[in-house]
Amino acid sequence: MTLSMYQASVPVFVRQLHNLSAILDKAIAHADATGLDPAELVAARLAPDMLPFSNQVQIASDNAKGCAARLAGVEPPRWEDKEQTLPELQDRIARTLDFLQGFEPGQIDGCEAREITLKLRDRELKFSGQSYLLGFALPNFFFHVVTAYDLLRHKGVPLGKRDYLGG
């Protein structure tokens, strides 16, 4: 059986974003139960030069919606990174899920050779659809999701591997 580009992208993003949303639910419950200021969680970082928790969620969202859109050959929506609370970040995840769930397999399947060009601040990166998904988009997405998980865990939110993997 062949694994399609759709199966390797959209359902993977959707599942992990649902897991991330559940992790944020636990963070909200933890803050409520302990009196921890939720703003401390939103601003959490492990090192002074790293992006805070809020940016980790925003970047994971951007990677998921951007990847699906690029693989489908459509323009990804652009959202301002203005979320400053856990509920606002939950809303961002929900909007991302809504966008992703609007794709059909036929929009993405067969895009393995499609040229994908990413315009970064100082350069452009060119990929085939398959190399973009497997070598850039998925690793980058998972990096930011696991970093968000790790930041909350570091702040005392009672999370475990099952929370990250979901199920």
Kindly report the CATH number assigned to the domain that includes residue 76.
Answer: 1.20.120.450
Q: In angstroms, rounded to a whole number, what is the distance separating the alpha carbons of residues 53 and 2?
A: 37
CA-closest candidate to residue 81, choices 58, 63, 64: 58
Q: What is the per-residue pLDDT across 86-145, written as a single tens digit (0 to 9) for each? A: 999 999 999 999 999 999 999 999 999 999 999 888 999 999 999 999 999 999 999 999
119 assigned to some structural domain? no
Q: Does residue 18 fall inside a structural domain?
A: no
Q: Would you say 93 and 20 are in contact if contact means Cβ atoms under 8 Å apart? A: yes
- How many domains would you assign to the chain? 1
- What is the domain range of residue 32? 26-101+126-165
pTM: predicted TM-score of the whole model, two decimal places: 0.96
Amino acid at 78: R
* 15, part of any domain: no
pLDDT digits (tens, 9 = 90+) for 99-110: 999 999 999 999
Angstrom distance (rounded) from CA 141 to CA 132: 12
What is the SS3 assignment for 118? strand
| pLDDT for 135 | 97
Q: How far from the centroid of its chain's Cα atoms is residue 147's Cα?
A: 11
Token readout for 103 is: 């794709």
Give per-residue pLDDT as tens, 62-90.
999 999 999 999 999 999 999 999 999 99
Burial class (CB in 10 A: 0-12, 13-18, 19+), 6: buried
Which pLDDT score, from 0 to 100, does residue 120 have? 85
Residue 160 burial (C-beta neighbours within 10 Å; 0-12, 13-18, 19+)? exposed
Token digits of residue 119: 């315009």
Residue 42 in domain:
yes
Q: Would residue 151 count as lying in a domain?
A: yes
Q: For residue 106, is it within any domain?
A: no
Q: Which residue do the tokens 């933890």 mark? A: 30
- Does the residue 17 lie in any domain? no
In a domain, 153, yes or no: yes
Is 163 a residue whose pLDDT tops 80?
Answer: yes
